Protein backbone atom coordinates (compact mmCIF):
# COMPACT_ATOMS: atom_id res chain seq x y z
CA UNK A 1 0.00 0.00 0.00
CA UNK A 2 1.42 3.39 -0.98
CA UNK A 3 1.68 6.32 1.39
CA UNK A 4 -1.21 8.09 -0.33
CA UNK A 5 -3.40 5.00 -0.09
CA UNK A 6 -2.60 4.71 3.62
CA UNK A 7 -3.54 8.36 4.12
CA UNK A 8 -6.87 7.85 2.37
CA UNK A 9 -7.56 4.74 4.43
CA UNK A 10 -6.79 6.65 7.66
CA UNK A 11 -9.03 9.53 6.62
CA UNK A 12 -11.85 7.13 5.81
CA UNK A 13 -11.42 5.34 9.14
CA UNK A 14 -11.38 8.69 10.96
CA UNK A 15 -14.65 9.74 9.35
CA UNK A 16 -16.24 6.41 10.26
CA UNK A 17 -15.18 6.97 13.88
CA UNK A 18 -16.72 10.45 13.75
CA UNK A 19 -19.97 8.90 12.53
CA UNK A 20 -19.99 6.43 15.40
CA UNK A 21 -19.19 9.09 18.00
CA UNK A 22 -21.83 11.45 16.65
CA UNK A 23 -24.50 8.76 16.47
CA UNK A 24 -23.66 7.46 19.95
CA UNK A 25 -23.78 10.96 21.41
CA UNK A 26 -27.10 11.63 19.70
CA UNK A 27 -28.64 8.40 20.97
CA UNK A 28 -27.40 9.02 24.51
CA UNK A 29 -29.07 12.42 24.85
CA UNK A 30 -32.25 11.77 22.86
CA UNK A 31 -35.44 11.08 24.77
CA UNK A 32 -37.10 8.21 22.91
CA UNK A 33 -40.55 9.57 23.81
CA UNK A 34 -39.81 12.82 21.99
CA UNK A 35 -38.09 11.65 18.81
CA UNK A 36 -40.34 9.92 16.27
CA UNK A 37 -39.49 7.41 13.57
CA UNK A 38 -39.00 10.16 10.99
CA UNK A 39 -36.33 11.84 13.13
CA UNK A 40 -34.50 8.56 13.59
CA UNK A 41 -34.50 7.95 9.84
CA UNK A 42 -33.07 11.42 9.27
CA UNK A 43 -30.28 10.50 11.69
CA UNK A 44 -29.77 7.28 9.74
CA UNK A 45 -29.65 9.29 6.52
CA UNK A 46 -26.93 11.50 8.07
CA UNK A 47 -24.95 8.39 8.97
CA UNK A 48 -25.29 7.07 5.42
CA UNK A 49 -24.10 10.43 4.03
CA UNK A 50 -21.02 10.38 6.23
CA UNK A 51 -20.23 6.71 5.63
CA UNK A 52 -20.52 7.05 1.84
CA UNK A 53 -18.34 10.16 1.93
CA UNK A 54 -15.73 8.32 4.00
CA UNK A 55 -15.75 5.46 1.50
CA UNK A 56 -15.26 7.89 -1.41
CA UNK A 57 -12.40 9.66 0.41
CA UNK A 58 -10.72 6.34 1.13
CA UNK A 59 -11.08 4.90 -2.38
CA UNK A 60 -11.05 7.86 -4.78
CA UNK A 61 -7.86 9.66 -5.66
CA UNK A 62 -8.26 13.34 -4.79
CA UNK A 63 -12.03 13.60 -5.46
CA UNK A 64 -13.41 16.31 -3.15
CA UNK A 65 -16.95 14.99 -3.49
CA UNK A 66 -16.23 12.57 -0.63
CA UNK A 67 -15.45 15.43 1.75
CA UNK A 68 -18.60 17.30 0.74
CA UNK A 69 -20.81 14.23 1.22
CA UNK A 70 -19.29 13.48 4.64
CA UNK A 71 -19.62 17.11 5.72
CA UNK A 72 -23.29 17.03 4.72
CA UNK A 73 -23.89 14.02 6.96
CA UNK A 74 -21.99 15.54 9.86
CA UNK A 75 -23.97 18.79 9.51
CA UNK A 76 -27.21 16.80 9.73
CA UNK A 77 -25.99 14.92 12.80
CA UNK A 78 -24.84 18.08 14.54
CA UNK A 79 -28.08 19.91 13.72
CA UNK A 80 -30.02 17.01 15.24
CA UNK A 81 -28.02 17.24 18.46
CA UNK A 82 -28.41 21.04 18.61
CA UNK A 83 -32.13 20.75 17.89
CA UNK A 84 -32.57 18.35 20.80
CA UNK A 85 -30.56 20.59 23.13
CA UNK A 86 -32.68 23.53 21.99
CA UNK A 87 -35.84 21.61 22.92
CA UNK A 88 -34.32 21.05 26.36
CA UNK A 89 -33.91 24.80 26.89
CA UNK A 90 -30.46 25.61 25.52
CA UNK A 91 -30.88 28.99 23.85
CA UNK A 92 -27.46 28.92 22.20
CA UNK A 93 -27.99 25.45 20.73
CA UNK A 94 -31.42 26.42 19.37
CA UNK A 95 -30.05 29.50 17.62
CA UNK A 96 -26.91 27.84 16.25
CA UNK A 97 -28.94 24.97 14.82
CA UNK A 98 -30.03 27.37 12.08
CA UNK A 99 -26.38 28.00 11.19
CA UNK A 100 -25.89 24.33 10.47
CA UNK A 101 -29.04 24.28 8.37
CA UNK A 102 -27.52 27.06 6.25
CA UNK A 103 -24.33 24.98 6.01
CA UNK A 104 -26.39 22.01 4.83
CA UNK A 105 -27.87 24.13 2.00
CA UNK A 106 -24.39 25.36 1.07
CA UNK A 107 -23.05 21.79 0.94
CA UNK A 108 -25.93 20.61 -1.25
CA UNK A 109 -25.22 23.48 -3.65
CA UNK A 110 -21.51 22.67 -3.61
CA UNK A 111 -22.33 19.04 -4.33
CA UNK A 112 -24.28 20.05 -7.44
CA UNK A 113 -21.49 22.41 -8.46
CA UNK A 114 -18.65 19.87 -8.18
CA UNK A 115 -20.38 16.58 -9.02
CA UNK A 116 -19.02 14.13 -10.17
CA UNK A 117 -15.39 15.18 -10.71
CA UNK A 118 -14.86 17.42 -7.68
CA UNK A 119 -14.02 20.30 -10.04
CA UNK A 120 -16.06 23.09 -11.69
CA UNK A 121 -17.50 22.33 -15.10
CA UNK A 122 -14.83 24.67 -16.54
CA UNK A 123 -12.31 27.19 -15.14
CA UNK A 124 -14.65 30.06 -16.03
CA UNK A 125 -17.15 28.75 -13.44
CA UNK A 126 -14.77 28.92 -10.47
CA UNK A 127 -16.19 32.24 -9.26
CA UNK A 128 -19.50 30.45 -8.56
CA UNK A 129 -17.74 28.26 -6.02
CA UNK A 130 -16.21 31.31 -4.37
CA UNK A 131 -19.71 32.81 -4.15
CA UNK A 132 -20.82 29.76 -2.19
CA UNK A 133 -17.85 29.97 0.16
CA UNK A 134 -18.62 33.67 0.71
CA UNK A 135 -22.14 32.72 1.78
CA UNK A 136 -20.78 30.07 4.15
CA UNK A 137 -18.41 32.56 5.78
CA UNK A 138 -21.22 35.09 6.24
CA UNK A 139 -23.60 32.48 7.67
CA UNK A 140 -20.97 31.10 10.08
CA UNK A 141 -20.54 34.59 11.51
CA UNK A 142 -23.76 33.85 13.44
CA UNK A 143 -21.64 31.81 15.85
CA UNK A 144 -19.99 35.01 17.12
CA UNK A 145 -22.81 37.48 16.37
CA UNK A 146 -23.69 39.86 19.17
CA UNK A 147 -27.27 38.58 19.44
CA UNK A 148 -28.99 35.27 18.66
CA UNK A 149 -32.55 34.81 17.44
CA UNK A 150 -34.52 32.16 19.32
CA UNK A 151 -37.95 32.89 17.83
CA UNK A 152 -37.83 33.97 14.22
CA UNK A 153 -40.65 34.69 11.81
CA UNK A 154 -40.74 34.96 8.04
CA UNK A 155 -39.58 38.58 7.98
CA UNK A 156 -38.12 39.41 11.37
CA UNK A 157 -36.96 37.97 14.66
CA UNK A 158 -39.47 38.13 17.49
CA UNK A 159 -37.15 37.23 20.39
CA UNK A 160 -33.46 38.14 20.65
CA UNK A 161 -31.01 36.97 23.32
CA UNK A 162 -27.42 37.95 24.03
CA UNK A 163 -24.87 35.53 22.59
CA UNK A 164 -22.60 34.31 25.43
CA UNK A 165 -19.69 33.92 22.97
CA UNK A 166 -20.66 36.87 20.77
CA UNK A 167 -18.42 39.69 19.64
CA UNK A 168 -19.88 43.20 20.05
CA UNK A 169 -20.83 44.76 16.73
CA UNK A 170 -21.07 41.50 14.72
CA UNK A 171 -24.58 41.41 13.17
CA UNK A 172 -26.74 38.31 12.93
CA UNK A 173 -26.66 37.10 9.27
CA UNK A 174 -30.13 35.54 9.35
CA UNK A 175 -32.23 38.42 10.72
CA UNK A 176 -29.76 41.29 11.05
CA UNK A 177 -28.93 44.04 8.52
CA UNK A 178 -26.94 41.54 6.41
CA UNK A 179 -29.81 39.06 6.07
CA UNK A 180 -30.81 40.31 2.62
CA UNK A 181 -27.25 39.85 1.37
CA UNK A 182 -27.03 36.41 2.95
CA UNK A 183 -30.13 35.05 1.25
CA UNK A 184 -29.29 36.74 -2.05
CA UNK A 185 -25.84 35.13 -2.15
CA UNK A 186 -27.34 31.74 -1.26
CA UNK A 187 -29.98 32.02 -4.00
CA UNK A 188 -27.40 33.01 -6.61
CA UNK A 189 -25.05 30.20 -5.61
CA UNK A 190 -27.70 27.44 -5.62
CA UNK A 191 -29.24 28.63 -8.89
CA UNK A 192 -25.89 28.82 -10.67
CA UNK A 193 -24.91 25.42 -9.25
CA UNK A 194 -28.02 23.93 -10.84
CA UNK A 195 -27.20 25.67 -14.13
CA UNK A 196 -23.62 24.35 -14.02
CA UNK A 197 -24.90 20.81 -13.46
CA UNK A 198 -27.21 21.18 -16.46
CA UNK A 199 -24.30 22.46 -18.58
CA UNK A 200 -22.16 19.56 -17.40
CA UNK A 201 -24.87 17.01 -18.23
CA UNK A 202 -25.24 18.42 -21.76
CA UNK A 203 -21.48 18.20 -22.34
CA UNK A 204 -21.00 14.83 -20.61
CA UNK A 205 -20.40 11.61 -22.48
CA UNK A 206 -19.87 8.00 -21.48
CA UNK A 207 -19.23 7.32 -17.79
CA UNK A 208 -19.73 10.94 -16.69
CA UNK A 209 -23.19 11.02 -18.28
CA UNK A 210 -24.16 7.89 -16.36
CA UNK A 211 -22.81 9.39 -13.12
CA UNK A 212 -24.94 12.50 -13.58
CA UNK A 213 -27.95 10.28 -14.36
CA UNK A 214 -27.58 8.59 -10.97
CA UNK A 215 -27.35 11.94 -9.19
CA UNK A 216 -30.32 13.49 -11.02
CA UNK A 217 -32.41 10.37 -10.41
CA UNK A 218 -31.84 10.69 -6.65
CA UNK A 219 -32.57 14.45 -6.69
CA UNK A 220 -35.82 13.91 -8.60
CA UNK A 221 -36.77 11.11 -6.19
CA UNK A 222 -36.38 13.49 -3.22
CA UNK A 223 -38.31 16.25 -5.00
CA UNK A 224 -41.09 13.79 -5.90
CA UNK A 225 -41.46 12.85 -2.24
CA UNK A 226 -41.67 16.50 -1.18
CA UNK A 227 -44.20 17.34 -3.91
CA UNK A 228 -46.26 14.26 -3.01
CA UNK A 229 -46.45 15.40 0.59
CA UNK A 230 -47.43 18.93 -0.45
CA UNK A 231 -50.09 17.65 -2.87
CA UNK A 232 -51.65 15.02 -0.59
CA UNK A 233 -51.06 16.66 2.77
CA UNK A 234 -54.45 18.42 2.78
CA UNK A 235 -56.35 15.69 0.88
CA UNK A 236 -55.36 12.50 2.69
CA UNK A 237 -54.94 11.96 6.42
CA UNK A 238 -51.47 10.46 6.79
CA UNK A 239 -49.59 10.24 10.11
CA UNK A 240 -46.67 12.64 10.41
CA UNK A 241 -44.48 9.67 11.28
CA UNK A 242 -45.14 8.15 7.87
CA UNK A 243 -44.27 11.41 6.08
CA UNK A 244 -41.09 11.65 8.16
CA UNK A 245 -40.24 8.05 7.29
CA UNK A 246 -40.78 8.69 3.57
CA UNK A 247 -38.67 11.85 3.67
CA UNK A 248 -35.85 10.14 5.55
CA UNK A 249 -35.81 7.21 3.12
CA UNK A 250 -35.85 9.52 0.11
CA UNK A 251 -32.97 11.58 1.51
CA UNK A 252 -30.94 8.38 1.86
CA UNK A 253 -31.14 7.80 -1.89
CA UNK A 254 -28.86 10.83 -2.42
CA UNK A 255 -25.69 9.49 -0.76
CA UNK A 256 -26.34 5.99 -2.11
CA UNK A 257 -26.65 7.27 -5.68
CA UNK A 258 -23.57 9.46 -5.24
CA UNK A 259 -21.58 6.52 -3.93
CA UNK A 260 -22.62 4.33 -6.85
CA UNK A 261 -21.77 7.09 -9.33
CA UNK A 262 -18.37 8.07 -7.96
CA UNK A 263 -17.20 4.55 -7.08
CA UNK A 264 -18.77 3.19 -10.31
CA UNK A 265 -20.32 0.17 -8.61
CA UNK A 266 -23.14 -1.16 -10.85
CA UNK A 267 -22.97 2.15 -12.70
CA UNK A 268 -24.64 0.82 -15.82
CA UNK A 269 -27.79 -0.29 -13.95
CA UNK A 270 -29.25 3.23 -13.93
CA UNK A 271 -31.37 2.77 -17.06
CA UNK A 272 -32.95 -0.36 -15.59
CA UNK A 273 -33.68 1.43 -12.30
CA UNK A 274 -35.20 4.45 -14.05
CA UNK A 275 -37.31 2.18 -16.24
CA UNK A 276 -38.72 0.22 -13.32
CA UNK A 277 -39.25 3.33 -11.19
CA UNK A 278 -41.18 5.12 -13.93
CA UNK A 279 -43.20 2.01 -14.79
CA UNK A 280 -44.24 1.21 -11.22
CA UNK A 281 -44.92 4.87 -10.40
CA UNK A 282 -47.28 5.18 -13.36
CA UNK A 283 -48.97 1.88 -12.44
CA UNK A 284 -49.47 2.92 -8.80
CA UNK A 285 -50.84 6.36 -9.75
CA UNK A 286 -53.28 4.92 -12.31
CA UNK A 287 -54.48 2.17 -9.94
CA UNK A 288 -54.89 4.66 -7.08
CA UNK A 289 -57.00 6.93 -9.31
CA UNK A 290 -59.14 3.99 -10.43
CA UNK A 291 -59.59 2.83 -6.84
CA UNK A 292 -60.63 6.23 -5.50
CA UNK A 293 -63.02 6.86 -8.41
CA UNK A 294 -64.59 3.39 -8.15
CA UNK A 295 -65.06 3.51 -4.39
CA UNK A 296 -66.56 7.02 -4.54
CA UNK A 297 -68.98 6.11 -7.34
CA UNK A 298 -70.07 2.71 -5.97
CA UNK A 299 -70.46 4.03 -2.43
CA UNK A 300 -72.83 6.73 -3.73
CA UNK A 301 -74.89 4.01 -5.44
CA UNK A 302 -74.76 1.52 -2.56
CA UNK A 303 -74.33 3.55 0.64
CA UNK A 304 -75.33 0.62 2.87
CA UNK A 305 -72.73 -1.73 1.38
CA UNK A 306 -69.62 0.43 1.84
CA UNK A 307 -67.45 -2.35 3.29
CA UNK A 308 -68.42 -4.73 0.50
CA UNK A 309 -67.71 -2.02 -2.07
CA UNK A 310 -64.23 -1.39 -0.66
CA UNK A 311 -63.40 -5.11 -0.60
CA UNK A 312 -64.67 -5.69 -4.14
CA UNK A 313 -62.89 -2.64 -5.51
CA UNK A 314 -59.62 -3.67 -3.86
CA UNK A 315 -59.87 -7.13 -5.42
CA UNK A 316 -60.69 -5.66 -8.83
CA UNK A 317 -57.79 -3.20 -8.73
CA UNK A 318 -55.42 -6.00 -7.70
CA UNK A 319 -56.37 -8.03 -10.77
CA UNK A 320 -55.51 -5.05 -12.97
CA UNK A 321 -51.93 -4.75 -11.67
CA UNK A 322 -50.08 -7.18 -13.95
CA UNK A 323 -51.92 -6.32 -17.21
CA UNK A 324 -51.44 -2.60 -16.58
CA UNK A 325 -47.78 -3.11 -15.65
CA UNK A 326 -47.10 -4.93 -18.94
CA UNK A 327 -48.79 -2.20 -20.98
CA UNK A 328 -46.89 0.55 -19.15
CA UNK A 329 -43.58 -1.27 -19.73
CA UNK A 330 -44.33 -1.54 -23.45
CA UNK A 331 -45.15 2.18 -23.51
CA UNK A 332 -41.97 3.06 -21.64
CA UNK A 333 -39.77 0.98 -23.96
CA UNK A 334 -41.24 2.77 -26.96
CA UNK A 335 -40.90 6.21 -25.33
CA UNK A 336 -37.35 5.66 -24.08
CA UNK A 337 -36.26 4.37 -27.48
CA UNK A 338 -37.60 7.53 -29.05
CA UNK A 339 -35.65 9.61 -26.50
CA UNK A 340 -32.43 7.80 -27.31
CA UNK A 341 -32.25 5.93 -23.99
CA UNK A 342 -31.38 2.28 -23.50
CA UNK A 343 -34.76 0.63 -22.81
CA UNK A 344 -34.72 -2.06 -20.15
CA UNK A 345 -37.47 -3.97 -18.46
Q: 78 near 46, Cβ under 8 Å?
A: no
Domain co-membership, 28 together with 158: yes
Task: For residue range 63-106, list pLDDT tens digits in order.
Answer: 788 888 888 888 877 777 776 677 677 767 776 777 777 788 88
Task: For residue range 52-61, list pLDDT tens digits in order.
Answer: 888 888 777 6
Domain co-membership, 251 together with 278: no
- Residue 277 and residue 345: Cα distance in Å, rounded? 10
Within 8 A by CB and 6+ apart from 62, the residues are: 118
Domain co-membership, 211 together with 283: no
Domain co-membership, 62 together with 160: yes
Out of 131-135, 234-238, 322-326, 329-333, give the one with best mean pLDDT: 131-135
Q: Which of 166, 143, 36, 3 is nearest to 82 (CA)?
A: 143
Last residue of a domain, one of 265, 285, 307: 265
Domain co-membership, 205 together with 285: no
Domain co-membership, 117 together with 153: yes
Domain co-membership, 215 together with 339: no
Q: How many domains does the chain have?
A: 2
Domain co-membership, 289 together with 229: no
Last residue of a domain, one of 265, 292, 325: 265
Last residue of a domain, one of 207, 231, 265: 265
151: which strand partners? 159
Domain co-membership, 210 together with 317: no
Phi, psi dihedral angles at 175 (to 5 degrees): -125, 0
Domain co-membership, 218 together with 305: no
Domain co-membership, 221 together with 74: yes
Cis peptide before 107 (omega within 30 of 0): no
Residue-number span of the structural domain to which 340 is assigned: 270-345
Domain co-membership, 245 together with 280: no
Least confident of 56-60, 193-197, 215-219, 230-234: 230-234
Amino acid sequence: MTGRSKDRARLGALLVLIIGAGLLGFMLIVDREVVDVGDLFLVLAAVVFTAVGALIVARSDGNRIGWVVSSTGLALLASGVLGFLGDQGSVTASALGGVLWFSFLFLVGLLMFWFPTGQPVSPRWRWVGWTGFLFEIVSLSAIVSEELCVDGGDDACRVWVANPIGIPGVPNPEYGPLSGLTFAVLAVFVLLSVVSLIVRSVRARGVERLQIKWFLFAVLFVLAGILLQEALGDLVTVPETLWGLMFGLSIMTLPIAIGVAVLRYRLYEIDRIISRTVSYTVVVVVLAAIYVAAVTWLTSLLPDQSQLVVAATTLGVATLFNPLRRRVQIWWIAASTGLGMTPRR
